[in-house]
Amino acid sequence: MDAWSEIVRELTLKLVGWPSVTNTPGECQWSQQLAEWLGQQPYFAAHPSQLRLARTVDDGYERSNLYALVRGTGPTTVVLAGHYDVVSIENYGDLAEWATDPEALLPRLIASLEHGSSRTDQLALDDLRSGDFLPGRGALDMKSGLAVGLAVLLHFAAHPERRGNLLFIATPDEEEASHGARSATIHLHQLAKEWGLELAAAINLDATSDQAAGEQGQAIFLGTVGKFLPLIYLVGRETHAGYPFDGINVNRMAAAVTQAIECNIDLCDEAEGELAPPPISLKQSDLKAFYDVTTPSTAWCYFNYLTHGRPASMVLDQFMAVTREALDAVLATQFAQAQRYAALVGSAAPVRWRAQVLSYAELMLRAQQHGGPSFASNFATLTTALLADHTLDAPSFSRQLVAYLWRCAGMSGPAAVVGFGSLHYPHSLVTGRSEREHRLRAACERHAQALAAEYSTTIKLRPFFAGISDMSFYGSAMEQSDQAIVAANTPLWGSRLKFDYTLVRTLNLPTINIGPWGRDYHQRLERVYMPYLLNTLPELIWRVACDVLAD
């Protein structure tokens, strides 16, 4: 098994050395660099038609997926997949020059940590001094995983008697909008037909974090978490600061909603004995752009929310219900305070405000009904203008559409509109119910146990990969009704965001994750654990893939 070490290390250093920060020229060029290198390898030099670059679909950047097929006998095929884009290197500071050169970075990073006082710095220093960890941008997330996948692919190509086929896929844009994986879903339907492939399983090669000795990181993940970005647009009632009870301050409303949702354990999704993390706020702000002594009228907030099994309809209902309860409570408190104040100063009885809570789909319907004959053309014009503004992130794009619809709907606050502010990542899980899932799950159980015994280590089977991943676009089975809920309540849908989730369902590809582990990915101290990467991991992927292909 030590035969893996040299090529995995060599490939890891090579792939990390090619910069590929998301949405940069390096990312756009990266797949071409890999295609040129693969084209020089004996198998692909002899079979150039089985190496292909395909442009990502509906993508403003000129970047491509890479597909590399090694054929054996029969149509049965296992996919090895991973993303090649990485996050920014800015957090390396004065070490950014060496962020993509792990061997040059290592001594410099050690020197920079020698006077660190935090536990995080001390752990990183100990790790790097041990020789067991390799630093660098993408070393963990996830070019080392790609290196292992390539090593397995080339090892397969070197075997003269091959059963089945291996298809390696490298995709861009996982760190932002998964244009690569979403395009791969489309391409795979086409390539399977063109190349005569029966896709039996997919192994995603993404990395996981473990702050201990690897007991959690050395794992086969049988599924992945789902992800929503619930976005809440809030409307209050303006008032002069000297007359606080004549209106309702939207900042108070937003604070109440955030307090009700933030880390609310009652909202955690549970499946397979694992509890998903609670929702957490990523943004809360009022939308007043200038100073005066009038309270702001609008605000917004959005939350990261991970699921294990809950459908979109339930998620939307839950966030609307919590928002409604939070607003009812804060308005009741304000009314009680206003009554006390009125009694003390002898003023008129206060207004008792009632909040409306709508879904984005409900707001759209009201805007269409009240926006007049030019509503559709005006909305289309606004959408086109927003699409041309590449400085807008997905939530900000969504918020501007919601704000426009609110103005067209002819409504007044206090109110809240709840929708989804970015791409939805469906959860997935290989349950073993279908024949292909049973075969894959059995292979995972068999080889995790056997290899752990051989190496005197642990390799766990865990249900859900905790990080948002491209697995959502290979192996999920989102219901058509759920897609309709997502589409109707995602402002981006049909303009900036176009994807048919039924393509994933019809692909029907059981997908697991087997990848490296390390610490502090996306951070300056990102590092991958090398002993597992260089030996155990490639052997595990090799055995699982060959087992599936042998059936």
Residue tagged 């056997």 (tokens): 450
Q: For residue 313, what pLDDT is reported?
A: 97
- Tokens representing residue 315 in the block: 């998620």
Residue 1 pLDDT exceeds 70: no
Instruction: State the maximum Cα–Cα separation within the chain, in Å, rounded to a whole number.
Output: 94
How long a stretch of residues is the chain? 551
In sequence order, the 6+-apart residues with CB closer than 8 A to the CB of 62 are: 28, 55
CB 193 within 8 A of CB 71: no
Computed on alpha carbons and rounded to an integer, the radius of gyration of the chain in Å comes to 26
Q: For residue 77, what pLDDT is reported?
A: 98
CA 132 to chain centre: 28
Residue tagged 């991943």 (tokens): 469
- Give the C-alpha separation, 85 to 108, whole Å: 24
- Give the C-alpha separation, 80 to 514, whole Å: 10
Q: For residue 477, what pLDDT is reported?
A: 79
Q: For residue 468, what pLDDT is reported?
A: 87
Phi then psi for 430, rounded to 5 degrees? -85, 100
- Give the C-alpha separation, 84 to 18, whole Å: 10
Residue 237 pLDDT exceeds 60: yes
Q: For residue 121, what pLDDT is reported?
A: 95
Residue 98 pLDDT exceeds 60: yes
Q: For residue 2, what pLDDT is reported?
A: 74
Taking Cα atoms as reference points, which of 476, 501, 253 lies closest to residue 355?
Answer: 253
Helix boundaries (H) for 304-374: 312-345, 360-370
- Tokens representing residue 324 in the block: 């409604």
Residue 551 pLDDT exceeds 80: no
Cis before residue 102, ω within 30 degrees of 0? no
Look up residue 163 and give its amino acid. R
Q: How confident is the model at residue 515 (pLDDT cuts 50, 70, 90)?
A: very high
CA 382 to chain centre: 28
Query: Which H or E run contains 298?
Result: strand 298-307
Q: Which structural domains are found in the chain, ordered by start? A: 3-225+425-474+509-550 (3.40.630.10), 226-420 (3.30.70.360)
Sheet hosting strand 163-171, strand order edge to edge? 51-55, 64-70, 163-171, 73-83, 198-204, 511-514, 219-221, 460-462
Q: Is 222 helix (H, G, I), strand (E, B) or coil?
A: coil
Taking Cα atoms as reference points, which of 40, 38, 66, 64 lies closest to residue 52?
Answer: 66
- Give the C-alpha separation, 365 to 301, whole Å: 22
CB 65 within 8 A of CB 51: no
- Tokens representing residue 286 in the block: 């009022």
Q: Is 413 helix (H, G, I), strand (E, B) or coil?
A: coil
Q: For residue 116, what pLDDT is reported?
A: 86
Q: For residue 508, what pLDDT is reported?
A: 87
